[in-house]
Every structure is written in C-alpha cells, then in structure tokens.
C-alpha cells in the first residue's frame, strides 16, 4: 500500500494541470449557477445576487402569462418534429447512399450535404429570408405552377414547419455521415447469406440493414432528448417576427426578449431556471437510457 | 460476379438522380445568393435574378470592403478564434490528460470528473452568466467571448477517451525512466494526439467563428462586433449600414439594392468556411464517428 506522501509525490502534478480549468469553470459555470438565486428575488442591480427574497412569486407571475405558456408548447412542438425529422431524413439518405457502389459519388455527396451544417445560422437565415420571401425565388417557382405566393415566414401556421424543414436541410448531412459509417461496418457476410436464401435487396434492407442500424438510431434519439427544450434559438431569432410569435416564439426567444432586451433579469432567470431544471432531468435520463439500452457511456 | 437485374438498374438510375437533386437543393440557395450579389440593383428589385447575375457588377463587394465594417469585424473574429481556440486547446489537453488516468493512478479523478460533468447537465443560464460577465468588467472586451466557454467539456471528454485508447506501455515505460507527469504529457502523449486534437480544435475554431450571439450581448459598441454579429445586424438593418457608410446614400441605393449588398457580405462571410472545409473534411467526420459510435 502506498503511503499518502508517496501518492502525493506522484500525483500533485495532475492537480496542478487541472488548476486552470477548475478555476475558470468555477467562475464561469458555478458562480452563475449560484446566480440562479435571482429567480427567487426581486432583482435590484445595486444589491446584485442578494436582492430581496420573493420566493416563487416570479414563477407564479410567469405561468400566469399565456404568452409564456404558449412558448412552452411551441418549443416542444418544434423540437419534437425536428428530432423526428432529424433522424428519418439522414437514415433515409444513408440507406440510399449505401446502395451506391461508386466511392467517389458517396464522398462528394457527403461533402456537399455536410457543408450547411458548418455555416452559422446568421448566414443561412440571410439566405432563406431572401428565398422564402413573398417575392423570393421559391414563390416565383411555385408561381410557374399557378400557385399563389405563400408566406413561409409570415404565416403562423406555416412558420414552425418552415423552421423544422430548414433546420433539417441544414443538419441532415451530419446524421447521414454517422449512419453511413455505421452501415459500412455491417458484415457483408450477412448480406451474402441472405442472397443465398433468395432475399432481394428490399428484404435485405428490412431484415438486415435496419435492425442493425437501430442501436445507433436509438442512441442518437436518446442523446437528442436533452436538447428537446432548445428548439433552435439561433435559427428562430433570426427568422421570426412578431406576427409569428404565437406559433414561433420558443422559450429561449422569450427569455431573450424579457430578460435581456427588457432587462427583467429576475423573470428571465426564472424562465431560464425552469428550462435548466427540466433539461437537466432529461439529460440525466438520456445518459441513463443510453447506458441501459445501447451500452453507451458518455463518461 | 454481381449481375444487376433490370429492376436494379432502374433503381440505380432513380437513386442517383434523387441524390443529385438533393445535392442541388443544398447548393442552389447559395448559388442564388451569389447571383444576386453580382447583379445590379434594378434587376434585383425587379425580382428577375434567379441563378445567373443580370447586369454583372462588383459594386456590392466593393461596398463591403470600403463602406461597411466588414473588414474590421473580420479581423475581430480572427483575433477571437486565435485567442479562444488557443485557450480551449490548452485547457482541453491539460484537463483531459489527468482525467484519463485511472482512479488507481490518480485518486481524485472521479471527483474532478463529476465536477466538470455537472456543468454539462446544469448551468446558470443566460442571465446569471451575463450579469456575472458584466460585474467582472468584461463587457466590450474579447475576454467576454472567450472565457465563459473556456473549457468545452464535451470536447475534453472526446480527447480524454482518445488518450485512454493509447497503449499503456508508453506511459509506463516513461514513468519507469523517471519521467514526471508533465514530462509524460508533453513528450510522450502530446505528439500522439494529433488526430483527436485536429478534430477537437476544428470544432473549437468553427464554434468561435460562428458565434454571433456572444458578440451581440457583450459588445455594446458595434465597432467591436465580430464578423457573425456584424452580419446579423445586416439581416434586418442593412439600410442603416448604408447610411453609416461613407458616400451618398441615395446614389448607393440606386446602384445597389439592399438585397444585393446583403448577399455580397453574407457570401463573403460564408466563404472562409466553404474554402477550408473540403480540405479538412476528414477531421470533421472521423472525429465525429469516433465520438459517437462507441461502446
């Protein structure tokens, strides 16, 4: 058994290595956690984090605001379909791509569809603001078929779907790359055995490919659970407008307007805390499920 | 020998066609943007531009470089990426190495790990962080953009797992030779980290480059906006940008439509990533796959 001082001699350097990160994380991650306390206070800038205590009053006020409650629904609605579409579309493309025997085509396709993922939403929003406008190129195209201009960004019923579809457009490249990597690691022997048994390509896909893809799909699904309250602030903030608040306002955009623009720090923090608590629970749940269902340990 | 039945041929043709169409859907929006940026104001106002410039002109690009604050915003972003990226990488390496040691070799490992992982699950949120940064007097400084996310925990975990995958004998041999942990880290481990560092580094760089929100809330003076924040202001207030630029507003507006000016600057903003990406694509993809197909 090593003595304490022997261990310390060997390990003190590890502690030193960790000092910078521990310090910075303490300042910028842990102290704001303490700052959550504002959610229970009537914030006074002079008194900072130690303003007068009001208990759950801020929360009661917020939940009485129909606009706020609406954002919760909008957030779940948009996030839910983004997650579902964000799995179906890449899986679909990876299956199609898997059928292509030419490696160069596969690589080129992946390269092209993966690029939008790396551009900021500011740029992509700028592109889509233009394309989806009433006089934009998409409506011009629809005009050829005699369809009247559709207000993709201004019609409350359509706005969430515009967000969902453009988000999938931006991010499906990522999923496609991941699923394709999974597909290429499937043992070819399985397919050969299936061919011997007389299975056509379609049956092979249904009985071999998809079941073997399920673990990674499940994993991606579970990992996105923690994200379900995010719904895409970057995207929505840059594409929304007051006309579509009813269906497009999400928790984060509400927090931004209330908390930063109107400087209602206490309310903003209360909403943020509400979101953090639920996200935290979902993230923990997702890590637990990932471990139990698919054997994936994040740490 | 694989023989393709007629049905399979048909499928292949349809498949490739469909994939090509999908590629087009990904490219065409940018193509359209490019066409608008090179077109004259009158054509754009009349909505005549589709995929090819009409009445080709470089005016919008000239305006971007002279009139707008594009270049200074670009420079601020470059500084941010250099500073932020360096800090990220140093912290990630310094943190991932001790945490990669097993509990036997580093008794407090699990405690530190929990310390960091908690921040992935719970965090103070936007407003407490904003208030803290303000309190610290970091408003308007590059540090406000670089310090709050100084250690990206998820990237650190990726590197940590990579280090764990390295052969143990290397470290043991060095320790037997009397090396200290610092020596082992810098002489033995670091040279082997290149692939994982590349991936993690790339994500750090792209993250800093693309972040527009930090600049918006922490920089109060729009001369200090990084590139994406500046571009964000273009989205809704391009007329203002034109007014603030030198030159005659009425004359500029006659030659260059708001959409053209905006398109040119957006395209310039997207160019760096579009240029770098094809060369570094393999780092973007291999790192991801390593990180996700585990267990």
**C-alpha closest to that of B198 among B288, B269, B120:** B288
Is there a domain that residue B152 lies in? Answer: yes
- Evaluated on CA atoms B30, B31, B32, B36, the torsion sign reads positive
Question: What is the number of structural domains in chain A?
Answer: 1
Q: Could you tell me if A48 lies within 8 Å of chain B, comparing CB atoms?
A: yes
Whether residues A96 and B235 touch (CB distance < 8 A) is answered with no
pLDDT of B292 > 60? The answer is: no
Long-range CB contacts for residues B5-11, cutoff 8 Å, separation at least 24: B8/A201, B11/A99, B11/A201
Residues 62-91, chain A, touching B (beta carbon < 8 A): none
Nearest to B127 among A18, A114, A259 (CB): A259
Q: Which domain holds residue A264?
A: 63-294
Is there a domain that residue A8 lies in? Answer: no
How far is CA B71 from each of CA B66, B143, B212, rounded to the nearest angstrom? 8, 21, 16
**CATH code (residue A145):** 1.10.3720.10
Cα(A265)–Cα(A249) distance, integer angstroms: 19
Nearest to B125 among A13, A48, A272 (CB): A272
Residues 279-298, chain A, touching B (beta carbon < 8 A): 280, 283-284, 294-298
**A179-205 burial string, b = 16+ CB within 10 Å, else e?**
bbbbbeeeeeeebeebeeeebebeebb
Is there a domain that residue B32 lies in? Answer: no
pLDDT of B287 > 60? The answer is: no
Is there a domain that residue B28 lies in? Answer: no
Cα(B248)–Cα(B20) distance, integer angstroms: 45
Is there a domain that residue A28 lies in? Answer: no
Is there a domain that residue B12 lies in? Answer: no
Kindly indicate whether the ipTM for this predicted assembly is greater than 0.90, answering yes or no: no
Q: What is the DSSP string of B234-286?
A: HHHHHHHHHHHSSS-HHHHHHHS-HHHHHHHHHHHHHHHHHHHHHHHHHHHHH
pLDDT of A38 > 70? The answer is: yes
**C-alpha closest to that of A123 among B214, B243, B271:** B271
Nearest to B288 among A120, A178, A268 (CB): A178
Cα(A236)–Cα(A161) distance, integer angstroms: 12
Whether residues B131 and A295 touch (CB distance < 8 A) is answered with no
Interface test with A, best of B17, B46, B128, B276 (most A CBs within 10 A): B128
Whether residues B108 and A15 touch (CB distance < 8 A) is answered with yes
Q: Which residue of B has its CA nearest to A239?
A: B235
Residues 136-165, chain A, touching B (beta carbon < 8 A): 137, 140
Q: What are the pLDDT digits (tens) for B140-167?
A: 999 999 999 899 998 999 899 889 888 8
Q: What are the pLDDT digits (tens) for B13-72?
A: 888 899 999 999 999 999 999 998 888 888 888 888 888 888 888 888 888 888 658 888
Question: What is the number of structural domains in chain B?
Answer: 1
Is there a domain that residue B130 lies in? Answer: yes
Is there a domain that residue B25 lies in? Answer: no
Q: Which domain holds residue B104?
A: 66-295
Q: Give me Rg for the CA atoms of chain A.
A: 25
Interface test with B, best of A119, A200, A286 (most B CBs within 10 A): A119
Mapping DSSP to helix (H, G, I), strand (E, B) and coil, where does residue A44 land? strand
Q: Which residues contact B139 (CB under 8 A, 6 or more apart)?
A: B133, B218, B219, B220
Question: Are the beta carbons of A96 and B18 closer than 8 angstroms?
Answer: yes
Q: What are the pLDDT digits (tens) for A87-136?
A: 999 999 998 888 888 888 888 888 889 889 889 999 999 999 989 988 88
pLDDT of A297 > 70? The answer is: no
**CATH code (residue B252):** 1.10.3720.10
Is there a domain that residue A6 lies in? Answer: no
Whether residues B125 and A269 touch (CB distance < 8 A) is answered with yes
């Amino acid at each position: 058994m090593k003595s304490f001082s022997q261990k310390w001699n060997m390990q003190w350097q590890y502690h030193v290595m960790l000092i910078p990160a521990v310090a910075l994380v303490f300042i910028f991650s842990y102290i704001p956690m303490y700052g959550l306390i504002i959610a229970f206070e009537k914030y006074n800038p002079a008194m900072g984090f130690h303003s007068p205590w009001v208990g759950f009053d801020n929360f009661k006020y917020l939940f009485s605001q129909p606009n706020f409650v609406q954002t919760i629904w909008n957030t779940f609605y948009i996030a839910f379909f983004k997650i579902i579409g964000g799995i179906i579309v890449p899986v679909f493309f990876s299956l199609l791509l898997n059928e292509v025997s030419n490696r160069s085509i596969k690589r080129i396709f992946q390269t092209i569809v993966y690029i939008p993922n790396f551009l900021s939403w500011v740029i992509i929003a700028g592109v889509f603001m233009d394309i989806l406008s009433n006089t934009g190129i998409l409506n011009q195209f629809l005009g050829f078929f005699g369809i009247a201009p559709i207000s993709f960004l201004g019609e409350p019923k359509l706005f969430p779907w515009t967000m969902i579809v453009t988000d999938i457009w931006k991010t499906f490249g990522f999923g496609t790359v991941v699923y394709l990597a999974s597909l290429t690691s499937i043992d070819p022997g399985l397919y050969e055995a299936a061919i011997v048994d007389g299975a056509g390509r379609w049956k092979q896909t249904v009985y071999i490919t998809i079941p073997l893809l399920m673990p990674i799909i499940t994993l991606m699904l579970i990992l996105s659970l923690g994200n379900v309250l995010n719904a895409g602030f970057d995207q929505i903030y840059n594409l929304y407008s007051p006309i579509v608040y009813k269906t497009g306002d999400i928790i984060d955009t509400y927090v931004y307007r209330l908390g930063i623009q109107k400087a209602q720090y206490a309310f903003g923090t209360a909403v943020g805390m509400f979101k953090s608590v639920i996200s935290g629970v979902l993230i923990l749940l997702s890590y637990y499920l990932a471990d139990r269902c698919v054997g994936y340990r994040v740490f | 020998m694989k023989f393709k039945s007629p049905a399979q041929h048909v499928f292949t043709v349809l498949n490739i066609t469909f994939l090509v169409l999908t590629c087009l859907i990904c490219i065409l929006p940018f193509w359209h943007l490019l066409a608008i940026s090179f077109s004259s104001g009158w054509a754009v106002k009349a909505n005549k531009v589709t995929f090819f410039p009409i009445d080709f002109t470089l005016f919008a690009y000239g305006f971007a470089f002279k009139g707008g604050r594009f270049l200074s915003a670009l420079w601020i972003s470059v500084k941010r990426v250099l500073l932020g990226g360096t800090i990220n990488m140093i912290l990630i390496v310094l943190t991932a190495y001790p945490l990669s040691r097993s509990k036997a070799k580093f008794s407090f490992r699990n405690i530190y790990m929990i310390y960091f992982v908690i921040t992935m699950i719970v965090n103070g949120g936007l407003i407490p962080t904003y208030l803290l940064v303000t309190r610290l007097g970091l408003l308007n400084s590059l540090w406000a953009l670089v310090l709050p996310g100084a250690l990206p925990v998820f990237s650190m975990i990726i590197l940590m797992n990579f280090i764990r995958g390295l052969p143990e004998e290397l470290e043991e041999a060095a320790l037997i030779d009397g090396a200290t942990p610092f020596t082992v880290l810098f002489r033995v481990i670091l040279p082997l980290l290149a692939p994982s560092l590349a991936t993690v580094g790339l994500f750090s760089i792209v993250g800093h480059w693309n972040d527009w929100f930090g600049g918006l809330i922490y920089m109060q003076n729009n001369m200090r906006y990084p590139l994406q924040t500046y571009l964000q202001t273009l989205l809704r207030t391009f007329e203002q940008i034109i007014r603030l630029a030198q030159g005659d507003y009425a004359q500029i507006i006659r030659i260059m439509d708001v959409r053209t000016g905006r398109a040119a600057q957006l395209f310039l903003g997207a160019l760096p990533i579009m240029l770098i990406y094809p060369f570094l694509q393999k780092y973007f993809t291999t790192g991801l796959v390593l990180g996700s197909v585990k267990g």
